[in-house]
Structure 1
Amino acid sequence: MIHDSRVSLARSARLSATILLTAALAGCSVFSMFSGPSKPQPAELQPVTALVSARQSWVTRVGNINFPAEMGVSGSTVAVASGDGTVALLDAASGRDIWRVALNTGIAAGAGNDGKVVAVVTRANEVVALQDGRELWRQKLGAQAFTAPFVAGSRVFVLAADRSVNAFDGQTGRKLWTQQRPNEPLVLRQSGVMLAVGDTLVVGLSGRLAGLNPTNGSIRWEAPIASPRGINDVERLVDLVGRVSRQGDVVCARAFQTGIGCVNAARGAVLWTKPANGVQGIDGDDRALFGTEADGTVNAWKRTDGERLWSTDKLRFRSLTAPLVVGRSIAMGDFAGFIHLLSREDGSLLNRLPTDGSAIASSPVLVGNTLVVLTQNGGVYGFQPQ
């Protein structure tokens, strides 16, 4: 429970930008409950000496991004989608279109990509699957979705805002199964967690990671990373947010403004959890995890037990994305369209890459040797980092 009213108000103000009120299976609607205090001033950027090289190799465009976008990576390709319904599969080495489709309907979540099928979710709550530049099928969902579909094993999996997980045949769109969990009154309008670990579909459901049988949707295990606390629905909101860090069978994830933790996804066993106040996902390597707190402080934790390795406040209040491990750096975007490259060893600034000046709309991704970045104005940039 949060007793300090100032802390509670600040948390509620941050939540109001990303929470949706869910009406069971009927769908969701946006609400804003709090005006909140004035916004803190972002840290001023200091001059940087490039200690790692990174050059822009290409740029292309899709439409504006007005939803919690994700880029779908498979092999040498990256799938992107814009708010106006443009969906494109790009060659990440050159930035050239492999194909591009205009769906002429707004996009709410996407894009998932297995190298053949690309899937998105529309604002009309329809899952749409595309291949070779043509629409394969579309199916209606019972609620909105804000997490990109996960495409794997000739199936398309969709995590909806009513805590349901739906599986569709990748070629026909036939619904294979639905797993419905108890629904909370509030969910985040933010990308959640879905990935495969061996033959298990791992999904974030409220504050838990759950392991599902991808064939029939049965639950194999559940592992809590955070539990609801507080006296009202806002304070009790717990949700896992993407991205996550996977090393072998171990998946580490963040619970929104609550904590981080690691789970052995082969056994469904929680290895450790630690309090943390971030709103974006995490990434890591075999030694450390990296993430940002809600105030923009960047932290590194030991992967084995969650103990703090280092922390830096040079990017406070710059609305950072989730980080991405790239070589000896971690990359993260900010509200002004910069990609910051920080040292994995101590958090020192190694380079800063400009884009088009609009906010970075999705966590950066690495496709082969190309760092791909998506901006709110629809710029898609490819960089070649050291």
Structure 2
Amino acid sequence: MIGSMRMKFIPRTLSLLTLSLFLSGCAGVNLNPLQWFGGDEEVNPPAELIEISSEVRLSRIWSVDVGNGQGDNYTEITPVIEGNRIYAASENGSVLAVDLDSGDVVWRNRLDDLQLTGGVGAGGGLVVVGSRDAEVLALDQTTGDIVWVSEVTSEVVSQPIANDDIVVVQTVDDKVAALNTDGGERRWIYESTQPPLTLRGTSRPIFTPADTVVAGFSNGTLVSVSASDGVWRWEERVAVPEGRYDIDRVIDIDGDLVLDGDRILASSYQGNLIALDVVTGRIVWGLQDASSYHGLTQGFGNLYYCSDKSHVVAVRDNSEDTIWTNEDLQYRAITAPTAINNYIAVADFEGYVHLLSQIDGRIVGRAQVDSGGVRANLLAYQGRLITYGNSGTLAAYSLQ
């Protein structure tokens, strides 16, 4: 199985998602693919919600307004949890810290005249966001005051990561830069070759116990570099581009990577799921033809992913066995899966949160949290589900 990972590939038909390739990097246009088509016909229309037998319900504990949320463009600004606080940001420059237990706003800062597109990152005493104008802004975690501003090569559309030494950001032009935590000066930069067409978005890099940074790129490769100086350690493909046309050869790694002990788990669009050794980059497990532009999650000995058709799939870890597949949310533009208690949580373009049983994949709970939809990944904190709606509502829910 592993030896054959270099690699079978089946081109897929044109979808709403792949059409977004043409507009990546274009300013001033609506990047929401659900709104590109007029008339009565839809390409890949989203499935209608079916009636469910509810076994669990979501009860809101607190909520906070965060500016204009995702704004009018197709951003995916996602909050981050650090300790007992959650840090969130809006497209129009509102950044805040919220106590996760009480929902109280600890501080709020309005970054005037800035359009935020990437965030939120936290670490090393900083809260980090990125702008459409290729700026990285670091705020003090305690006060919310701006500590430094640094320029990078292009727009930041993913979450930065940070520790006591460096802040790492990945830009839409397939570059990864490390900035000094204490002043924002550039420490190193890694550049990857960008294909002619890509999806709008990048995955979030990760720090590893091997003192490296691993990042996924739009050419379907994972790259590991030294965290201290950016020196190349290894590179491996998650997918190989095939097909006659550029649109058939899109294999972006857009979903966030998962660090699982000495393994890194990754997925790619029109590609595969793979697990690689953190130190060597050797492929230790793989599942072919598992196209996804989302991240993964784990639970009950399974890996869970959302396909490019918004199917939720459970695969037995370290095997090719599919435990279950739920197609009820087809083309509803769902978020990456989040494991919480006995459930897998996803949200969709109409703002519904769906709770699926980890055992058999049935939808056993549902609630609409934002009529404007949800693109930010859901977060879990001490049995609570944290949602950030496109309209700007940050909320915590208990599962009952």
Answering whether residue 195 of structure 2 is matched by residue 204 of structure 1, we say no
Partner of 1:238: 251
Deviation at 1:86, TM superposition (A): 0.6
**Match of residue 60 from structure 1:** 64
- Note the residue ranges of structure 1 that are not aligned, 5 or more in a row: none
Match of 1:341 in 2: 355
Q: Could you say what secondary structure the match of 1:176 adopts?
A: strand
Is the contact between residue 9 and residue 289 of structure 2 (CA under 8 Å) also seen in structure 1? no
Deviations 1:331-355 (A, max 9, x none): 0001111111101111012211221
Stretch deviating more after TM superposition (177-186 or 29-38): 29-38
When the two chains are superposed, the root-mean-square deviation of aligned CA atoms in Å is 2.6
> What is aligned with 1:93?
101
Residues 3 and 374 of structure 1: is their aligned pair in 2 closer, same or farther, counting only changes over 3 Å?
Answer: closer
Contact 1:28 1:144 in 2 (8 A): no
Task: Please give the per-residue CA displacement for 1:283-331, whole angstroms capped at 9, x wherever unaligned.
Answer: 1236111122222221111210243111112222221111001111000
Higher share in strand: 1
Q: What's 1:331 paired with?
A: 345
Q: 1:241 to 1:61 in 2, by over 3 A?
A: same
Alpha-carbon deviations, 1:46-65, whole Å to 9, x = none?
Answer: 33343235421111111221
Q: Please name the residue that 2:3 is paired with.
A: none
Q: Superposition pairs for residues 185-204 of structure 1, below 5 Å?
A: 185-198=196-209, 199-204=211-216
The alpha-carbon deviation at position 173 of structure 1 amounts to 0.8
TM-score (norm 2): 0.87
1:229 to 1:29, Cα distance in 2 relative to 1, 3 A: farther
- Tell me the residue number matched to 2:152: 141
Give the stretch that moved more between structures: 351-360 or 327-336. 351-360
Residue 379 (structure 2) pairs with residue 365 (structure 1): yes
The 1-side partners of 2:237 and 2:300 are apart by 22
Task: Give every structure 1 segment of 4 or more consecutive aligned residues whose post-TM-superposition deviation is greater than 3 Å.
Answer: 1-4, 18-22, 27-37, 46-50
The 1:193–1:148 alpha-carbon spacing in structure 2 relative to 1, beyond 3 Å, is closer
On the 8 A contact 1:155/1:169 being kept in 2, the answer is yes
Q: C-alpha displacement at 1:239, in angstroms?
A: 1.2
2:394 aligned residue = 380
> In structure 2, do the counterparts of structure 1 residues 40 and 180 end up closer, same or farther at CA, with 3 Å as the change threshold?
closer
* CA separation of 1:178 and 1:41: change in aligned 2, threshold 3 A: closer
Structure 1 residues 310 and 3, CA gap change in structure 2 (3 angstroms): closer
Deviation at 1:19, TM superposition (A): 5.4
Work out the CA distance in 2 between the residues paired with 1:40 and 1:238.
Answer: 20
What's 2:46 paired with?
42
Aligned to 1:352: 366
Deviation at 1:211, TM superposition (A): 1.5
Determine if contact 1:193/1:240 at 8 Å carries over to the other structure.
Answer: no
In structure 2, the residue matched to 1:173 is 184
Aligned residues: 378
| Structure 2 segments unaligned to the other structure (5+ residues) | 1-7
Point out the more displaced range, 211-220 or 284-293.
Answer: 284-293
